[in-house]
Amino acid sequence: MKSLWMFILVAVFLWCSPASAEYCKVKSDGTSRTCIYKIDRIPHNSQIVISYTREGWTMMIAVFLKEFALIEGDAKVKSSEGGEQSIEYVSTSRDMTAGGTLMEAAIYKVSESLLRDLGHSKGKVRFYLAGSASKKDKEVEVAASLFSDIDAYIDETKTVLKALFPNE
């Protein structure tokens, strides 16, 4: 009987989404929660992080260059499944890394439907970032399979941060 109760307790613990969260971090006091989805198999000179804020879903695209490109303005996303869509520019942070390269991290506001489209895309996804200091836009290419578990991330985020999703 004791092992049955232990099994039930372990099962409940594992099914509890904040306890078994893969993308979300919850502090022990329960006051601070963050949910982050990182794309990690992309060209070595870029990074993509998707998160949720009070203003909605955001995507940070950071590129590491030898010189600044001054990435500012709306970007375009092109995938084999969803065609070309525009994403709204919010801001850019710039810094220098310890290795001497320059980092520009542009933040874009994205829709949940766009994120789901990226997750279901079977081809390559390209991000065309508006760079005002160069003659052509900076291009970051991401394999769409890396977005394959985005649905699980969205569902977990909505569960952990349910106070931010009152209409659902």
| Domain positions in the chain | 2-164
Backbone conformation region of residue 76, classed left if phi is above 0, alpha if psi is from -120 to 50, else beta:
beta
* Angstrom distance (rounded) from CA 36 to CA 157: 9
Under DSSP, is residue 20 helix (H, G, I), strand (E, B) or coil? coil
Dihedral of the CA atoms 11, 116, 150, 130 (nearest 10)? Answer: -160
pLDDT tens for the chain, 168 residues long, are 545 444 444 444 444 444 456 889 887 777 778 899 998 667 778 889 999 988 899 999 998 888 877 888 899 898 877 678 999 999 999 999 888 889 999 999 999 999 998 888 776 788 888 877 555 555 566 666 678 789 999 999 998 888 887 776
pLDDT at residue 114, as a whole number: 92
The CATH number that domain 2-164 falls under is 2.60.40
List CB contacts of 83: < 8 A, sequence separation 6 or more: none
Both tokens of 136, joined, read: 């052509």
Backbone conformation region of residue 163, classed left if phi is above 0, alpha if psi is from -120 to 50, else beta:
alpha
